[in-house]
Amino acid sequence: MNQLFNKYLNSFKGLSKEVWWLALITLINRAGTMVIPFLSLYLTQDLSFSLEKVGIIMTCFGLGSLVGSWLGGKLTDLFGPYKVMFFSLHLSGLMFIFLQFITSFETVCLAVFILMIIADAFRPATFVALSTYSKPENKTRSVTLIRLAINLGFSAGPALGGLIIAYIGYDGLFWVDGLSCIVAAWFLLAVLNPKKVTILDAVQNNSPRSAYKDGPYLIFILTMVIFGFVFVQYFSTIPLFYSEARGLTESQIGLLLAMNGFIIFIFEMPLIKYLETRPLSKISHMITGLALVSISLIILNMTSWTGILVIGMLLMTLGEMIAFPFSNAFAMDRARRGSQGEYMALYSIAFSASHIFAHNSGFLSIANFGYSFTWYAASIIGLVGILLLLFLKKILAKN
């Protein structure tokens, strides 16, 4: 047991203190965005909006995320990641506080759109900063640490948010959410000041290449859109399937989803450290991850046994743990040849685009063709992504 524990601790060794600070800031920020999981409840219960209006607001949410990722990349290339991260955190905190005071449908749409532009400008800036603070051999594990912080924040945030709503109400939730983002901004100001941090992998490119002219990278981005399209079904259509088709209660669904975060928190870092020692490329690992997520949907059609839901969640989680860190590391490596902010913005945009289209497409498919067809269709889409990755691997082998 002690040997296993020591191996687990060793998987975290070698990461710079700046990466640890960035992970802590990300944890505070993600735990602070506790409004997000309760946004639809707030809009329907407190503001009495119809489901159709809530759907439009959530579309504004996705569009704002997409624009924010693009703008964050542009601003990062112009001003550097430090300033973009600080102002994103600080201004999004103010926007969260302001959001509770507007009640009309049109202004809520506009406010949510602006909020997500500001908040998601943080993402490409974080990736660029992470690349700067990491040694080349540690980038994948550095990404994994940030993912652990995000998952821990997403686990703690909703639990804390539920308590705040129960004892204080939604007003308290907006205040805590906003103030936590502002605290994260000033904490960043204290610990990651460019004058104090150690740069481990600075990139100087006098003639940076545009990400939009990098053909192999654009193929990679397309595969990430496809991966995101398949992956997000687990957080939109799959919970509905658990309830309507398999008769699970809300608490049982919550346990299944919580299992995902728990497994990632415990096992992802040791898994990535092990996989880094294997003689396989990042593309190969991404193929494995996407294949596992696709298979996790196919097996849902194979039997009515309830245990298959647990197996499906385990396969999806394993695929996620493999695909996300290595795809992120691939994007950071590729970004060295051009404008880093632009490259990492495209990576973030891929998942924003997935969120815009995947949820509605999944629900429409279920309504018109049923669950079985939808899982098969999503798996076929995943297969297209795998074929694109194989094509990309072939192209890169020639270069």
Gap between the Cα atoms of 233 and 319, Å rounded: 14
Task: Kindly write down the DSSP assignment for every residue of 4-45, as one continuous string.
Answer: HHHHHHHTTTT--HHHHHHHHHHHHHHHH-THHHHHHHIIII
Contact, 121 vs 84, CB < 8 A? yes
Q: 397: helix, coil or strand?
A: helix
Q: Residue 46 gets which letter from DSSP?
A: I
- 386 close to 287: Cβ distance less than 8 angstroms: yes
- Residuewise pLDDT in 10s, the chain (399 residues): 566 666 666 666 777 778 888 888 887 777 656 666 567 667 777 888 876 777 678 778 878 888 888 898 888 888 888 889 899 999 999 998 998 898 888 998 999 899 989 988 888 888 777 777 777 777 777 777 877 777 777 666 666 777 777 778 878 888 888 888 898 888 888 877 766 555 544 555 555 677 888 889 999 999 999 999 999 888 778 877 888 888 887 667 767 877 887 788 788 888 888 888 888 889 999 999 999 999 999 999 998 898 999 999 999 999 999 998 899 889 888 887 767 778 888 888 888 888 777 777 887 888 889 899 999 999 999 999 999 999 999 998 877
- Beta-ladder partners of 209: 338
Contact of 41 with 54, CB cutoff 8 Å: no
Contacts of 194 (CB under 8 A, 6+ apart): 80, 82
DSSP string, 170-220: HHHHHHHHHHHHHHHHHHHHHH--TTTSPPSS----SSPBPGGG-HHHHHH
